[in-house]
Amino acid sequence: MSLLEVRDLKKHFPIRTGVFKRTTGHVYAVDGVSFDVEKGETMGLVGESGGGKSTVGRTILRLTEATGGDVKFEDVDVMRASRTQMKSLRRDMQIVFQDPYACLNPRMRIRDIVGEGLKIHDVGTEAERKKRVSELLDTVGLNSEHAERYPHEFSGGQRQRIGIARALALNPKLIILDEPVSALDVSIRAQVLNLLEDLQNEFELTYLFVSHDLSVVKHISDRVAVLYLGKIVEISDSAVLYDMPQHPYTEALLSAVPIPDPHTERTRRRIVLEGDVPSPANPPSGCVFHPRCPRAKEICTTAMPRLVATGDAGDRHEVACYFPARFPTGGRVVSDEPLVDALPVEAG
């Protein structure tokens, strides 16, 4: 049994216009996303803006209510949990947000911010809670005397540590990290990434790591799911993804990331995609990627391909493409014939 099972998750935000706020359309932020997260692993969600990666994280915690689909945490149905069930679920599932400036209440002391969860869940006495907060600050590399200060007295990296301490307070099993290092400078980013790795080992945490930064996601994740316009286009072990990307979007994304090595940069072949990411309010028909895809054919405009394993790199490498890159022994092949498994069930 996986710690977290997400099945066909959907979140469509209504677009309301006019005086009467009539619903005139939907933003298809997340549109049928399925994946499992095993205990103790780090699952990375990566993609560009509008891909729906943050919404996936928030929907799992029911910070926004899903439009459809199922989420199971330790076999508990999260989507249909009552308020009391949800309260206890949230002890086990925590989140760290992107913006360390916006996510801490500026009028609260660090002690109250980190200890708020303990108070809500009625853990221990006042004195015990105080001790726990000191321990937590120590764990994330801050001093216990920092507890009496306010958020504005801290730098971005320190604030992110406070956010992590708050998430750790109730000994959660799963932490959703929503772009936790994107707002930080390079030298501080490495500190926080190392801290996250240490905490994972120490407390046997499971991470869902959401980021637009492929280098960071690849570094920290065991597995990576690539999202495009609310859909997973490829999911694989992170070690495999860089060497054997199968989906043309993954290929382009990987090739677009500049590598801090001038020699490598001079010899790399870069795939520059045409055009912009379409609006999730008006996604293209068929495969959502086809208008920008260098490999698109007629069939790609008809229906979204299913996410299937091709078996080239184990069962855990799945791709949603009619013309994925294949890796039989001795090189990379792209077939002209559509992949039969990827055809939609009703058509195939």
Site for another protein (CB under 8 A): which residue of 77, 185, 202, 204? 185
The rounded distance, in Å, linking the Cα atoms of 108 and 101 is 13
DSSP state of 38: -
The runs of H, that is alpha helices, within 121-223 are: 126-139, 156-168, 186-203, 214-220
The rounded distance, in Å, linking the Cα atoms of 42 and 222 is 5
Site for another protein (CB under 8 A): which residue of 129, 218, 231, 317? 218
The yes or no reply on residue 212 touching another protein (CB under 8 A) is yes
3-state secondary structure at position 58: helix
Terminal-residue alpha carbon distance, the chain: 31
Tell me whether strands 174-178 and 22-37 are parallel, antiparallel or unpaired: unpaired
The yes or no reply on residue 112 touching another protein (CB under 8 A) is no
In angstroms, what is the minimal distance from the CB of 261 to another protein?
6
The yes or no reply on residue 220 touching another protein (CB under 8 A) is yes
The yes or no reply on residue 191 touching another protein (CB under 8 A) is yes
Count H helices and E strands in the chain, helices first: 10, 14
Answer for the pair 193, 181: CB distance below 8 angstroms, yes or no.
Answer: yes
Q: Which stretch binds another protein (CB under 8 A): 106-114, 122-130, 171-179, 217-225?
A: 217-225
In angstroms, what is the minimal distance from the CB of 214 to another protein?
6
The yes or no reply on residue 333 touching another protein (CB under 8 A) is no
In angstroms, what is the minimal distance from the CB of 55 to another protein?
16
The runs of H, that is alpha helices, within 72-109 are: 83-92
The yes or no reply on residue 313 touching another protein (CB under 8 A) is no
The yes or no reply on residue 194 touching another protein (CB under 8 A) is yes
**Which positions from 272 through 311 interact with another protein, judged by CB under 8 A?**
272-273, 276-277
The rounded distance, in Å, linking the Cα atoms of 203 and 201 is 6
Site for another protein (CB under 8 A): which residue of 29, 147, 164, 216? 216
The yes or no reply on residue 187 touching another protein (CB under 8 A) is yes
Q: List the x/- string, 33-52, binding to another protein by CB under 8 A.
A: ---------------xx---
Q: Who contacts 33 (Cβ-Cβ below 8 Å, separation ≥6)?
A: 6, 8, 9, 10, 52, 56, 69, 227, 230, 231, 232
Record the tokens describing residue 157, joined without a space: 């990296």
Count of chain residues binding another protein (CB under 8 A): 43
By beta-carbon proximity to another protein, the closer residue of 239 and 308 is: 239
In angstroms, what is the minimal distance from the CB of 274 to another protein?
8
By beta-carbon proximity to another protein, the closer residue of 276 and 298 is: 276
The yes or no reply on residue 155 touching another protein (CB under 8 A) is yes
Q: How many CB atoms lie within 10 A of CB 184?
A: 19
| CA 161 distance to own-chain centroid | 19
The yes or no reply on residue 13 touching another protein (CB under 8 A) is no
The yes or no reply on residue 15 touching another protein (CB under 8 A) is no
By beta-carbon proximity to another protein, the closer residue of 132 and 212 is: 212
In angstroms, what is the minimal distance from the CB of 215 to another protein?
5
In angstroms, what is the minimal distance from the CB of 251 to another protein?
11
Q: Which stretch binds another protein (CB under 8 A): 96-104, 172-180, 247-255, 319-327?
A: 247-255
Answer for the pair 73, 93: CB distance below 8 angstroms, yes or no.
Answer: yes
The rounded distance, in Å, linking the Cα atoms of 312 and 319 is 11
The rounded distance, in Å, linking the Cα atoms of 85 and 61 is 12
Answer for the pair 308, 234: CB distance below 8 angstroms, yes or no.
Answer: no
Residue type at 129? Answer: R
Q: Which residues bind another protein (CB under 8 A)?
A: 48-49, 155, 157-158, 185-191, 193-194, 197, 212, 214-216, 218-220, 239, 242, 252-265, 270, 272-273, 276-277
